[in-house]
Amino acid sequence: DTGVSQDPRHKITKRGQNVTFRCDPISEHNRLYWYRQTLGQGPEFLTYFQNEAQLEKSRLLSDRFSAERPKGSFSTLEIQRTEQGDSAMYLCASIAGRTDTQYFGPGTRLTVL
């Protein structure tokens, strides 16, 4: 069990560009969460998958954001037409079965210039 991994760890992009992040959860964890964390704040919930089904989306997830988990394993988070306000740390977490303990990945830090 290698833990939750995220790629890339850092991404610098220009405003208006599209970016995509990947999250690989802990093996056999069926639930996967995305959070966003801005400087000086705690993480805020974005969206959640159970297997391949996206079950909930936060109001923070504007129509420029899309997340997928096509085979119920890894997940991608895409941001289209990035804005400077999208600069943040994007965190992924996974959870097994009916337990309540979420394990977080190291995050992807996005900087939009």
Asked whether position 59 contacts another protein by CB under 8 A, the answer is yes
**Binding mask of the shown chain, residues 22 to 41, with x at each position contacting another protein by CB under 8 A:** ---------x-x-x----xx
The sign of the CA dihedral 15, 84, 78, 6 is: positive
By CB under 8 A, name the one of 67, 95, 110, 112 that touches another protein. 95
Residue 32, both tokens: 């996967």
The Cα angle at residue 23 between residues 20 and 29, in degrees rounded to 5? 150
**CB neighbours (10 Å) of residue 28?**
10
| Beta pairing class for 65-68 and 75-79 | antiparallel
Of residues 62 through 91, those in contact with another protein by CB under 8 A are: 91
By CB under 8 A, name the one of 56, 62, 78, 113 that touches another protein. 56
Binding footprint of another protein on the chain (CB under 8 A):
4, 6, 31, 33, 35, 40-45, 48, 55-56, 58-60, 91, 93, 95, 100-107, 109
